[in-house]
């Protein structure tokens, strides 16, 4: 956008018509006439050339005045510039894959519902780095921190229940492993979303100590207890198992690290929980707007000076006008 910083100078343009009127009114006084005994002594071609030279000289003078006045009004190009500072969030999804995740209280089973909900969560996160860590009796990094959603979604599809030799629920070790992935992150916000349907019964590190470790690295942990309120749940091929969600530990982990604890008793509740966490942990975008001014007066002043100089040279050497 082009604006004038000093538009009042445009009033000086009245000088142009004023000069024109003065020359018109006092024409005879401003010129030095030559008298000839007969007009036939001067050819019509000479008269035309004389008038043309005069009009050209006047046009150059008016144009110079016009350009000088425009340059005095200081035309500027104004451009708004935006600077964005984006504070991304690093998130590790920590998912229980012990055999109890095959329970059918969530249809078709807990693990499939968790995978579907986690994929929806991943799809909504733009610009953030996410990782996937799965655990049973041991923990495994399924996908390191990345912004590639296609890779995350593909690897989430490959998540399955742990083999019987790795079965168990090592919540403490899962937190420690995820902390190791996040501790060197330069991100302002580091988050862990831990989902489990059982209680810590494996591993060398208890959940409370692991939560203390995460807190030291400013890692916030949201915990989710997945499973119905029934005493038992059915697992195909194994029969009924007892529901043993350690809500006390999950609540303590969340509280200690500044997160929140959620309880998901069905698939709809789980979807709402992930949506809630998505709202709580949003990427911060700081936008600073700067206004850039580019002066244009030189584009008018310099041509005015060149035209003035060129006009004087033409009048003195070509039109033979003496100073």
* Span 165-176, pLDDT tens digits: 899 999 999 999
Mean pLDDT of the chain: 87
What pTM, to 2 d.p., does this model score? Answer: 0.65
pLDDT digits (tens, 9 = 90+) for 118-132: 999 999 998 899 999
Q: Judge contact between 90 and 183, C-beta under 8 A.
A: no
Please count the other Cβ atoms lying within 10 Å of the Cβ belonging to residue 97.
24
Report the distance separating Cα 11 and Cα 115, nearest Å. Answer: 73
CB crowding 191-215: b at 16 or more within 10 Å, else e: bbbbbbbbbbebbebebeebbebbb
CATH homologous superfamily of 89-282 equals von Willebrand factor, type A domain (3.40.50.410)
Q: Where are the domains of the chain?
A: 2-24+47-79+291-318, 89-282
Tell me whether strands 189-196 and 89-96 are parallel, antiparallel or unpaired: parallel
pLDDT in tens, the chain (323 residues): 888 888 998 998 988 888 888 877 876 555 556 565 555 656 677 667 767 877 888 888 889 999 999 999 999 988 877 766 667 899 999 999 999 999 999 999 999 999 999 999 999 998 899 999 999 999 999 999 999 999 999 999 999 999 988 999 999 999 999 999 999 988 889 999 999 998 999 989 999 999 999 999 999 999 999 998 887 888 887 888 888 899 999 999 999 999 999 999 999 999 999 999 998 887 655 556 778 888 988 898 898 899 888 878 877 777 665 54
Helices (H), 89-148: 110-124
Radius of gyration of the chain (CA): 41
Which residue is listed with tokens 């190009």?
Answer: 77
């Amino acid at each position: 956008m082009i604006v004038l910083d000093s538009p009042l100078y445009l009033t000086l343009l009245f000088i142009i018509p004023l000069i024109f009127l003065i020359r018109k009114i006092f024409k005879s006084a401003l010129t030095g006439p030559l008298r000839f005994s007969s007009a036939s002594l001067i050819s019509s071609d000479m008269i035309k050339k004389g008038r043309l030279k005069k009009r050209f000289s006047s046009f150059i003078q008016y144009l110079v005045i016009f350009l000088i006045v425009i340059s005095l009004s200081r035309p500027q190009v104004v451009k708004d510039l935006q600077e964005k500072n984006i504070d991304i969030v690093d998130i590790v999804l920590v998912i229980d894959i012990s055999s109890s995740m095959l329970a059918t209280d969530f249809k078709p089973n807990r693990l499939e519902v968790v995978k579907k909900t986690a994929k929806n969560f991943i799809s909504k996160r733009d610009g953030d780095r996410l990782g996937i860590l799965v655990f049973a009796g041991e923990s495994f990094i399924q996908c390191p921190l990345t912004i590639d959603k296609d890779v995350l979604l593909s690897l989430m599809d490959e998540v399955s229940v742990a083999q019987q030799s790795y079965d168990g629920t090592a919540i403490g070790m899962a937190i420690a492993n995820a902390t190791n992935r996040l501790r060197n992150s330069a991100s302002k916000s580091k988050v862990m979303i831990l989902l489990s349907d059982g209680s810590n019964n494996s591993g060398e590190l208890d959940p409370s100590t692991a939560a203390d470790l995460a807190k030291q690295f400013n890692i916030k942990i949201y915990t989710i207890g997945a499973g119905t309120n029934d005493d038992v749940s059915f697992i195909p091929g194994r029969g009924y198992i007892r529901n043993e969600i350690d809500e006390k530990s999950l609540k303590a982990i969340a509280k200690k690290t500044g997160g929140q604890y959620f309880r998901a008793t069905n698939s709809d509740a789980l979807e709402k929980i992930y949506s809630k966490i998505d709202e709580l942990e949003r990427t911060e975008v700081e936008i600073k707007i700067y206004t850039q001014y580019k002066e244009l007066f030189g584009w008018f002043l310099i041509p005015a000076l060149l035209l003035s100089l060129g006009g004087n040279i033409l009048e003195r050497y070509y039109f033979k006008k003496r100073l």
